[in-house]
Structure 1
Amino acid sequence: MTLQQKVKMESSHENAGISKKLMDAILPLIKDEEIIIIHSALSKLGFEKSSNYLKGLMDFLEQLIEMNKTVLLPSFTFSFPKRKKYHYLDPSETGKLADFAQEYLNFERTKNPMFSFVLEGPRKKRFLATRTNSGYGDKTAVSELASKDVAVVMLGAGWDSCTVIHSVEERQNVPYRIYTNWNYPVDFGNGLENHNFQAFVRDRNYNTELNFKRIREVLIKEKKLRQSRLNHITLEAANGQVISELASQMIKEDPYYFVSFN
């Protein structure tokens, strides 16, 4: 079912204007061969909250898909270990864009109770086939973002949202994180079943705070940061493999590079 069938929103010049502005801003940030992961903060993009804004956003995503782009949106559920259960229809805890895309554009959701993505496009099977029992270990969707054919786009969000760095932390076995395991009921669409899940979480013996925004300094220094303008803000992006390699280098030099101590 199309967005037009699901919601009664009449097309308008405002809708078209919003989707065009978004498209004009994102195209300079991505290369033709790249899959796109979008970390968003919709309230910061300079558009008034309205049905026109929602329609413009959905038109924008549809246009990317029509261009044969594969688009991923984070739909993380950090509360999984606290709630001790997960259902594939649980709302995203990392912004509404993923929920809108799932509801109106039929984006599929990867099977992960904590670090899922909603996605659409010709290369979605690659991510739908990733591990379901780990947060960001090897062969998870998060680790796949470290590939050379992925563009990590900050659509209003800051670089602290750059989840792919978590996979680097795990690969480098940083000292301020430890492995923890849970076994809770999970429903990926076929009913509740107990599901083993492992995450590389911050060690409570270390009073640290995530500081992924430091990757931006490195990207600027290495001339790898891509930028464009949208309304009053600057949008930024970088290649996933480049981010991963630079983050790995920084952690080798300083294992605590991506955290601050309180």
Structure 2
Amino acid sequence: MELPMTTRRGDSRIEAAIQAATEGYHRGRTLHNRATMALQRKRRDYEVGAVSEATFDRILDSYRSDAVFVHVGLRDISRAFDHDPYEFLLGRLDERFESILNPGFTPAFRSIDGGIYHKQYSVPKFGAFSRLFLNDCEYRTDDPTNSILVRGPYRFDDCRHDDTWAPGGCFEKLDRENVQYLNVGTDWLRSSHIHYLESRLSVPYIETVEYEGVIYREDGTYEPITHRSHEYTMRMTWNRAKIRKDLERAGVLDSYDLNGLQVFAFRARDIRKVLTPKILADPYYLVT
């Protein structure tokens, strides 16, 4: 006796059940990773002590280039050196790089009532270094959610600024030119370039969203804008320990522990080439 064919409605129910189970599985993986990373942060097993300035200078000297994109933790720098941490690091970077780049991210623009982005006065949300650097930078991109602050001649005038992670955008330029990144004093590996990878590879836990608002320029002019960027569709945390280990194993990440002061060095395109096949094989690779 032949079994009856499954109806299309039955097929759709099965597919929906499989999809729900798959999503539940991946959410469980990301939740486990969030808990693990939170526990590791609480168990930070090192303290920062005094660091030789000569040793630190030698490390910076080995990465001299036209431009550097920095992520900075001033608290640990203040513990390592007997100087004002911001002035100390900025001076060291000025001596070695023509241009210094730093994230000037302002997520407040994502307001449902419409955002306001002032290129001169909108204060970066993440990190004391960025908030101080706003007064010392000479250029800021027009991106109202993920702007880049620049001290020096490096420019993004040939890039689109209306879609943060799009082809032809500012972060694609960083990738194309394989810009040098440095983390100084960050407890974990940090890179805004990973957001670029998530968006370009269309990982399943982000979506592209449009925001309406107003941009105020340095000369006092303003205009309404529509901007596209990303939002996460689930609570997640990058598995920075795994990412660091895989990048080190591939030879594209240099890591230093200077009496507790962490320094990481890598280049934008180099990490993309290593991480892309891993993300394609497992779209949840970064967050599990």
1:120-131 residue pairs with structure 2 within 5 A?
120-122=151-153, 124-125=154-155, 127-131=156-160
For the Cα contact (< 8 Å) 1:18–1:53, is it kept in 2? no
What SS does the aligned partner of 2:134 have? helix
Distance 1:24 1:113, change over 3 A: same
Aligned mates of 1:49, 1:194 — CA distance in 2: 45
- Which of 65, 71, 74 does residue 103 from structure 2 map onto? 74
Q: CA RMSD in A?
A: 2.7
State the 1:39 CA deviation: 0.7
Describe the superposition over 1:174-213 as per-residue Cα deviations: whole angstroms up to 9, x where unpaired: 111111111111213243311110112212xxx3403151
Contact kept, 8 Å, 2:145 with 2:229, in 1: the verdict is no
Aligned mates of 2:138, 2:252 — CA distance in 1: 30
Q: Compared with structure 1, are the counterparts of its residues 158 and 79 closer, same or farther at alpha carbon in structure 2 (3 Å cutoff)?
A: farther
Checking the alignment, whether the CA contact within 8 Å between 1:102 and 1:108 is kept in structure 2 is no
Q: Does 1:209 align with 2:236?
A: yes
**2:74 is aligned with 1:47:** no
Amino acid at match of 2:172: S
Equivalenced residue count is 233
Q: Which moved more, 1:140-149 or 1:168-177?
A: 140-149
Residues 232, 259 of structure 1: CA spacing in aligned structure 2 closer, same or farther, 3 A cutoff?
Answer: closer
Q: For 2:182 and 2:216, how far apart are their aligned partners in 1?
A: 30
Counterparts of 1:250 and 1:99, CA distance in 2: 34
Identity %: 20
Q: Which residue of 1 aligns with 2:263?
A: 235
Q: Deviations over 1:154-176 (max 9, x none)?
A: 11225563111111111111111
Q: Distance in 2 between matches of 1:52 and 1:156?
A: 14
Which of 150, 156, 159 lines up with 2:185 in the alignment? Answer: 156
- Measured after TM superposition, the shift of residue 139 of structure 1 is 2.2
Change (3 A) 1:41 1:128: farther
CA distance in 2 between partners of 1:237 and 1:90 (Å): 29
Report if aligned partners of 2:70, 2:102 keep a CA contact under 8 Å in 1: yes
Aligned in 2, Cα 1:37/1:118: closer, same or farther, shift over 3 Å?
A: same
Structure of higher CA gyration radius: 2
The answer to whether the 8 Å contact 1:45/1:233 transfers is: yes
Q: Which amino acid aligns with 2:91?
A: D
The one-letter code matched in structure 2 to 1:23 is D
Residues 173, 52 of structure 1: CA spacing in aligned structure 2 closer, same or farther, 3 A cutoff?
A: closer
Superposed counterparts of 1:11-90, under 5 Å: 22-28=56-62, 30=63, 32-33=64-65, 35-47=67-79, 52-65=84-97, 69-82=98-111, 84-88=115-119, 89-90=121-122
The structure with more helix, counted as a fraction of residues = 2
Could you tell me how far apart the structure 1 residues matched to 2:55 and 2:75 are? 15
Secondary structure in 1 matching 2:160: coil
Cα separation, 2, equivalents of 1:178 and 1:112: 18
What stretches of structure 1 of length at least 5 have no aligned partner? 1-16
Could you give the per-residue CA deviations for residues 44-92 of structure 1, whole angstroms, max 9, x where no partner exists?
Answer: 2243899733432332233134xxx322011111221127211112111
Could you tell me the TM-score, scaled by structure 2's length? 0.71
Q: Does structure 2 conserve the Cα–Cα contact (< 8 Å) formed by 1:111 and 1:128?
A: no
TM-score (norm 1): 0.77
Change over 3 Å in CA distance of 1:178–1:53 after alignment to 2: closer
When residues 128 and 64 of structure 1 are mapped into structure 2, their CA distance, relative to the original with a 3 A threshold, is farther
